[in-house]
Structure formats: structure tokens, C-alpha cells
Amino acid sequence: MSKLNASDLIDLRRSLVSLASLMLLMVLTTGIAGLFAAWSLSEFHLRTEKTLMEASAAVSEARSVQANFKLQVQEWKNILLRGHVEADRARYRAAFRAQAGKTADSLKSLPAEVDRLQLLNDAGAPVKLTDLVDVPGISAELAALNERYETALAAASAEDAMDGWDPMLADGLLRGADRELSDRLESIPVALRKAIDASLHKSQQLGAERFDTLSRFVWSAILFALAMVAIMIWRILRHPALAR
């Protein structure tokens, strides 16, 4: 090999510096690609965990609707069993109406709380609570039943009622009326739990797909970096100064 002149040495040095710079750039590129993939997967899993936690709270809220309704029925029974004295009857009636309002309010707010969770169906689209259960229909049934309660109270408190208060009459007008509605309220958390399980399965599927996509992205970045470095090394090895 002949002695390198100053011009060839400078040119070769520039090529080596370019190679080192390229290698550094490729390391940074693959590092950034890997960090992005890790961040993306982490964010996805955090969002999924947050949704599941909020979904569990929504199931508890759905069960609390039925619990509120059971308390409402209990307050109704208190009127019938302990409302013989007018003052006591007024107190139990106020408690019953307050509990009825709480049941209606909790049922009314439930769809918005569930819809905010963005649960996914098999197609990956958001699921609304009203797609699972006829919440407006249940709310209408609850309102109609509350009107029947008020009608029964009015009839049992009429002047021609026995001693101004006839609990047997009120009980006869409403006996068994709450059973079907209680069953429909129970169907809400059951349907919601099934939707959550389906959404979890879909999220796991989407997570696996995202992992595959990001893995291909990182490997593509690594292969591209290796290819660029190999090309640069090949060009340096073909440098006229090294070919002498």
C-alpha cells in the first residue's frame, strides 16, 4: 500500500467521522423507537387498568341503584307497619319519598357514567349502557310505580278509609308490584359486568396487536440502522486511499 497523501487522509478522516456520526444517529433513532414503543404500550395498559377500575365502580353504582330501590320498598313497609299514628306516618312517608327520589336520581345518572368509560364491543366500537339494557324503559317503570305508591297512599288515607288510615288497602294495591322492577334493576349490573368482560377481552386483543405493530416498527428501525451503517462501511472500504 502506497503512502497516503494529505488529501486522501483528510478525505478518509471525514468518511470515518461520517460513519461515527451515522452510527450515533442510528443508535439514537433505534433508542427513540424503542422508548416510543415502551411508552405507547405502557400508556395503553394504564388506560386499560384505569377503565377497569372505573368500570368496577360503575358496577357498584349499578348495584347501588337496586339497593336504593330495596331501601325504598323498606320505607314503604315502614309506612304500612308503623304508620298508624299520623305523625309517624308523615315521617315515614317523607323518608319513603326521599328514598324514591334517590333511586330515580341514581338510575338517571348511571348511563352517562357508564358511557364515559368507553367500553368496547367485539368490533372495537364504544358501548353505551342503553345498548345493553333498556334504562329509559326501567326509569319509566320506576316513575309509574312511584305514582302507584302515591295513589295507594292517598286511597289509604282517604276520609272513608278505616280510622283515616287503612294499611291493608295500601298493601293490597301494591302487593308484588316491586318484584318485576327489582329483577330489571338487577339485570343492569349483570349486563354491565358482561360488557366489561367483553371489553377486557377486546382490549387484550388490541394490546397484542399494538405490541406486534410496535415490535415490527422497532425491528424495522434496527434493520434500517444496520443497513445504513453497512453501506457507510462498504463505501469507506472502497475508498481510493484504502484500495492502494
- The closest alpha carbon to 30, from 243, 234, 237, 217, belongs to 217
Angle, nearest 10°, between helix axes 6-82 and 179-237?
180
What are the Cα distances from residue 188, in Å, to 134, 192, 209? 9, 6, 31
- The closest alpha carbon to 75, from 93, 51, 56, 48, belongs to 93
d(CA 5, CA 20): 23
pTM for the whole structure: 0.72
Q: 221 lies in a domain?
A: yes
Q: 25 lies in a domain?
A: yes
Which triple of cell numbers denotes residue 236? 469507506
Per DSSP, what are the bridge partners of residue 119? 127
C-beta separation of 75 from 96 below 8 A = yes
Name the 3-class secondary structure at 134: coil
Full pLDDT tens readout for the chain, 244 residues? 455 566 766 776 777 777 777 778 878 888 888 888 888 888 888 888 888 888 888 899 999 999 999 999 999 999 999 988 889 989 999 999 999 999 999 999 999 988 888 888 888 888 898 899 999 999 999 999 999 999 999 888 875 556 678 888 888 988 888 999 999 999 999 999 999 988 888 888 888 888 888 888 888 888 887 887 787 777 777 766 665 5
> What is the structure's pLDDT at 1?
46
Q: 153 lies in a domain?
A: yes
Q: 236 lies in a domain?
A: yes
C-beta separation of 120 from 126 below 8 A = yes
Q: 1 lies in a domain?
A: no
Residue 43: domain span: 6-118+126-243
